[in-house]
Structure 1
Amino acid sequence: MHALIPSSFRAFAHRRMALIALRANSSLSTRLKRYSHHMSIARTLEAAGGAK
C-alpha cells in the first residue's frame, strides 16, 4: 500500500499527525514522543526527495 501513496503526501500526513499528537489528551512525554516519531518520518521522506 505504501508504494501507491506518493512520499510527498505521506510526509504531509506525518506532519499533520505530529501536530495532532501535540494536542492529544495524554501526558507531555507521550505527546512529545509521538510528535518526534512522526516528524522524523516526515523528515526522512522529505530528504528522500518526496516533498519539495
Structure 2
Amino acid sequence: MKHPHALNPSKSRAAAHRAMALAALHADSSLSVRLSRFNRHMAIARSLESQEVAL
C-alpha cells in the first residue's frame, strides 16, 4: 500500500514546514526569534506549494 504523501513529497514537506512554523510560535524563545522562525518556515512552505502548482 502506498501512502498519499509518497506520491507527492513536496506536499508533505510543505505540511511539515507549516507544522514547524506553528511549533515555532509556541517555543520558549523571544518574540523576535519565534517570529523569525515562523516566517522562515512559512516561506519554505509557500515555495514548495508554488512549485507543486507549477508542476
TM-score, normalised by the number of residues in structure 1: 0.84
| Bigger CA radius of gyration | 2
Q: Quick one: percent identity of the two aligned structures? A: 59
The count of aligned residue pairs is 46
Q: Runs (4+) of structure 1 moved beyond 3 Å? A: none
Structure 1 stretches of 5 or more lacking a match? none
Larger helix percent: 2
The two structures have a TM-score, normalised by structure 2, of 0.80
Give the unaligned 5+ runs of structure 2. 1-7
